[in-house]
Chain A
Amino acid sequence: MDEGKPLFVQIAEQVEASILDGSIAEESQAPSTNELAVFHRINPATAAKGVNMLVDKGVLYKRRGIGMFVARGARDLLLKERRSDFAERYVQPLLAEARRIGLGPEDVADLVRTGAGVSPAKP
């Protein structure tokens, strides 16, 4: 796992990724704290912290005596969050690296338009 973020945040993000890609549908049961702990080989208290973070955010909710479920609207909520984070998480580092190697924002935009796989500079 990525050492940079607290473990419980990483656990929460993995559950979010499953909700975003549709592998856990809304109103269906989410993995339990113990399942997450055993699967990721982490302490159950850490897994619980990740799950609680998602409950606070409104992504998961608890059904008494049954377990955790994905809230209705959770996917939209996560999509909105991911989109607003997109610039900071992906575009800014991209532009910073471009600057380092002498590419301006326009060059980057061209690369994006023409497709990332096509290199303009032939060796």
Chain B
Amino acid sequence: MNSVIQVRNLTKRYKDALALDGVSFDIEQDAIYGLLGRNGAGKTTAMSILTAQNLPTSGEVRVFGENPYENARVLSRMCFVRESQKYPDDATPRHAFAAARLFFPRWDQGLADELIDDFQLPLKRTIKKLSRGQLSAVGVIIGLASRAEVTFFDEPYLGLDAVARQIFYDRLLADYAEVPRTILLSSHLIDEVSNLIERVLLIDAGRIIMDESAEDARALATNVVGDAAAVERAVNGREVIHREGLGRVASVTFLGRLDGAERAAVVADGLELAPVSLQQLIVRLTQQRSGRDRSTGDAFASTGSDADTQEGSLR
């Protein structure tokens, strides 16, 4: 595969905060990436530097083999849909689309018109007066209809209801299938996008902690549930990333998979094995790294505390 973006030792420091800490990664051509991580992890900073809306403190960024900064040749081939996009005070969606049409050489007006219809977007109201969801729709329409060779969607769904988000995902997939291109999608709604993305880049505290195919990421961890003593025997010597218990029943998530024989032994012991969804894996990995020690003893102590709100232990 060709890579369209190369990032080497990229560091971004704001006054006293390190937003990106020497990250390196490649983005392959014509793949859909999920750029995932907690708030403040560095996702938006990375995207703004790649699209030359921000300068790195140090390190190197190449897009289509060139430095993107003040480089019109490169910039017209990229589209950055950001959550906090600003428009002139008196601009309407119609103005925004007209400007996008001039800027993006591969703009598809037919697609834009269909999307305007899908999202029932009022074209003549000023953008200032649009609802949060309608404002997001403007960004989504520009991102899709620009058909840019590299498109960044930075949490494009704010204010969009479940129906509108589904329209976005369906349109994204259908148009990507028709016109393959490189897409980076940052999202907190991991369950919603996990089947759409081909690769996962997970950023945590300014570092890349996972760069995997989505398929491989789903196989990174295993969950085993059952009698606590039997569970402990089964996970002995493995890297445990989460533990919780209810009475004599324990549910433990560990990194790695079991082979056929190990699997059979665990099942024979009366335990149940479950896969770990991408969302659960990412919650576990980023929660574990934020503050707490990696030792299993500490992970054990974390049962039921702070960030456990999303747990779906009753599967």
Residues in A lying within 8 Å of B, measured CB to CB: 3-4, 6-8, 33-34, 37-38, 40-46, 49
Contacts and interface: CB of A to CB of B under 8 A. Distances in A.
Given A34-B178, A38-B177, A46-B214, 17 more contacts: A6-B219, A34-B177, A37-B173, A37-B177, A38-B173, A38-B174, A41-B173, A41-B195, A43-B32, A43-B195, A43-B196, A43-B197, A43-B214, A44-B173, A44-B177, A45-B31, A46-B198
B218 interface: yes
Contacts of B196: 41-43
A7 B173 contact: no
B269 to A, nearest CB: 13
B277 interface: yes
B169 interface: yes
A6 B198 CA distance: 13
What 7 A-B pairs are tightest by C-beta distance, nearest first? A34-B177, A42-B195, A45-B198, A43-B198, A3-B275, A44-B177, A38-B174
Contacts of A37: 173, 177
A40 B196 CA distance: 10
Contact of B169 (A8, A33, A41, A45): A41
Interface residues of B, number: 21
Interface string B145-165: 000000000000000000000
10 contacts: A6-B215, A6-B218, A6-B219, A7-B195, A33-B177, A34-B178, A41-B170, A43-B197, A44-B173, A45-B31
Nearest to A4: B275
Interface in B270-310: 274-275, 277
A55 to B, nearest CB: 18
Q: Which of B177, B214, B275 has the most CB atoms of chain A within a 10 A radius of its CB? A: B177
B215 A7 contact: yes
B25 interface: no
B176 interface: yes
Nearest to B315: A3
B123 to A, nearest CB: 28
A3 to B, nearest CB: 5
A100 B283 CA distance: 36
A34 B174 CA distance: 8
Contacts of B177: 33-34, 37-38, 44
